[in-house]
Amino acid sequence: MPGCSFKLKSSVIMMMESNNPAGNGSPANEDSSPLRAWLAVGSVTIGAFAFVTTEFLPVGLLPQIAHDLGVTPGTAGLMVTTPGVIAALSAPGMMLGAGRIDRRYILIALSVMLLASNLISAFAPTFGWMLFGRALLGASLGGFWTLALAAASRLVKLHESARATAAILAGVTCATVIGVPLGTLISELASWRATFMATGVLVAIALAAQAALVPSLPSQAALRFADLLELVRRAHPRKSLLMVSLVFGAHFSSYTYIAPFLLRDAGFSMSSITWVLLGFGIIGFVSNFAVSTVVNRSLKAALMTMVVLMLTALVTMPLFRHSAPAVTAVLMAWGVAFGAIPLCLSVWMQRATPDLPEAGSAMFVGIIQVAIAVGSSVGGAIVDHAGIATDFRFGSVLAILGIIAVATLSAAGAPARVDELSEHVGAEKC
C-alpha cells in the first residue's frame, strides 16, 4: 500500500508468520544479520517500488495512452480500475489459497506476473490487451502486499525485523515520490510504451535478485476464512473498513484523472504536469514523516485534519482552474493530505484488529483496492459524461461521508506506535 509507513516492533511481530526460518536466531541474539539477508530485503524493496510504480503509471500517462489506443479518458481509467478489482480478490484470496506453500516461491511467482504485466502493457496493440496486462498486475498486487511485509521481517534476525519492514515501506514511499513522475518524464522523452518497458527492466532486476537471494520461507500456518468472517462480524472493524473505502474512494475517483484535468482544464503542458506530480509526491513524502510524530498521540484528530484538507482541495481545484499557481498550490495541499492518510488509516486498522492482524491486513488491502477500482470506474464514467469538474464534486461527496465516518468512530484498540519510524527509515530513504 503506497505510503503506509508505520513501525512498532510488536506490531511487526504480529504480522509475521508463526515460525521463523532457522537462520533468524532468537530474539536474544543481538548479532547483526548477514549482508546476504539485507540484500534479500533490498530485492523485496525494489519489488515494492516496481509494484507501486506500475500500479499508478496510468495516472501520469492517461492522456497519451487514451489517444494512442483510441479510447476516451474515462475508459482509459479502466487501467486503474481493472487491477484494483482483481487485487481486491487476490489480497485475501492469496493468503487463503497459499496454505503452507513456501513464501519464497510465491514472491517469485508474483514478480514474474508483474514482469509479464509490464511487457504486455508496453507492447499492447489494443486497449483490450492493455487491460489484460493490467489484470495480471492486479492478480499479483494483492498477494504481494499481503505477503511482502511478513516475508521481509523473516529475512533478518528478529530484533532487526522492524528495520527490514521500514526498508520495504521506504521503497513504497520512494515510488510515490519519483515513480509516477519519472514514468511521465520517460514518456515525454520517448513514449508511454518506453515507460512500461523501463519499469519491466526494474522488475527483472528485482526478480533476479529475489531468485538469487531470498531463502526458503516455509509456512506452518495459514489464514482461515473463518478469521475474515469474524472480522466482518465485529462492528468497529466493519465500520472502519467502510471509512477506509470512502476516504480512498474520494481520492482515487478524482486523482486518477488529475493529468487530463491539468492538461485540458488548467492548461498545463506535459512537462509542467511531470513537475507538479513530482511536487505532489515529495510533499506527500514529507507529510508522511511529519504526521508520524503525532499520529500515535492524536490519531483521530490527525486523520480528520487530513481528510478535511483533501476535501478542501477537491472543492477548490475546479474553481481555480484558470490560475496555474493556485491550482499548483491546491494540488500541493492535496499532496500533504494524501501523504499522511494511508499512514493514519493503517494505524487505525491495526488498532481495530489487534488479535487478527493477518485478517485485518488482508481485508485492509482488499478494501483499498475495491475503493480504487470503484472510485476510478465511477469517476471515469462521470468524466466522460459530465466532465472532470463534476467528478471532483463526486469525490467531495465521498470525502464528506468519510469525514462523518471518522467523526462517529473511535480510534480504539491496541496502540500501533509510529513515533520511532524515522530513525529506522532515515538510512533507507531514496
Q: Which of 74, 187, 51 is nearest to 122 (CA)?
A: 187
Measured over the CA atoms of residue 223, residue 226, residue 229 and residue 235, the dihedral's sign is negative
365 and 91 Cβ atoms separated by less than 8 Å: yes
pLDDT of residue 297: 82
Of the two residues 362 and 256, the one the predictor is more confident about is 256
**The residue type at 222:** A
Distance CA 334, CA 13 (A): 33
Distance CA 174, CA 154 (A): 23
Query: What are the counts of helices (DSSP H) followed by strands (DSSP E) for the chain?
Result: 18, 0
List helix spans (H) across 156-219: 161-174, 180-189, 192-213
What is the tens place of the pLDDT at every residue in 382-414? Answer: 998 999 999 999 999 999 999 999 999 876 654
Phi-psi region of 413 (alpha: psi -120 to 50; beta: other; left: phi over 0): left
pLDDT of residue 80: 84
Between CA 257 and CA 266, with CA 262 as vertex, the angle to 5 degrees is 135
Distance CA 369, CA 59 (A): 15
pLDDT at 7 over 50: no
Contacts 24+ apart (CB under 8 A), 288-291: 288/3, 288/5, 288/173, 288/339, 288/340, 288/342, 288/343, 289/5, 289/421, 289/422, 289/425, 290/340, 291/339, 291/340, 291/343, 291/344
Cell numbers 537471494 label which residue?
A: 213
Work out the end-to-end distance of the chain between its first and last CA atoms, rounded to an integer number of angstroms.
18
pLDDT band at residue 228 under the 50/70/90 scheme: confident
**The residue type at 329:** A
Distance CA 161, CA 138 (A): 28
Distance CA 346, CA 417 (A): 11
> Distances from the Cα of 14 to the Cαs of 2, 103, 150, 356, in angstroms?
21, 17, 9, 9
What is the tens place of the pLDDT at every residue in 35-60? Answer: 888 899 899 989 989 998 898 888 78
Distance CA 6, CA 425 (A): 10
What is the tens place of the pLDDT at every residue in 68-82? Answer: 999 998 889 889 888
Between CA 419 and CA 428, with CA 422 as vertex, the angle to 5 degrees is 150
The 8-class DSSP code of residue 160 comes to G
Distance CA 192, CA 61 (A): 6
301 and 411 Cβ atoms separated by less than 8 Å: no
Between CA 92 and CA 98, with CA 95 as vertex, the angle to 5 degrees is 140
Query: From the CB of residue 204, how many other CB atoms can be counted at a distance below 10 Å?
Result: 17
What is the tens place of the pLDDT at every residue in 147-188? Answer: 776 676 678 887 776 577 667 766 776 776 677 778 888 888
Q: Which of 150-159, 281-290, 370-379, 390-399 has the highest mean pLDDT?
A: 390-399
Distance CA 103, CA 214 (A): 10
Give the domains, in start order, of the chain with CATH numbers: 9-18+35-428 (1.20.1250.20)
Between CA 57 and CA 321, with CA 182 as vertex, the angle to 5 degrees is 75
pLDDT of residue 365: 78
What is the tens place of the pLDDT at every residue in 301-311? Answer: 999 999 999 99
Q: What are phi and psi of 15, to 5 degrees?
A: -80, -15
pLDDT of residue 177: 66
Cell numbers 480500475 label which residue?
A: 81
Rg (CA), the chain: 20
What is the tens place of the pLDDT at every residue in 310-343? Answer: 999 999 999 999 999 999 999 999 999 988 888 7
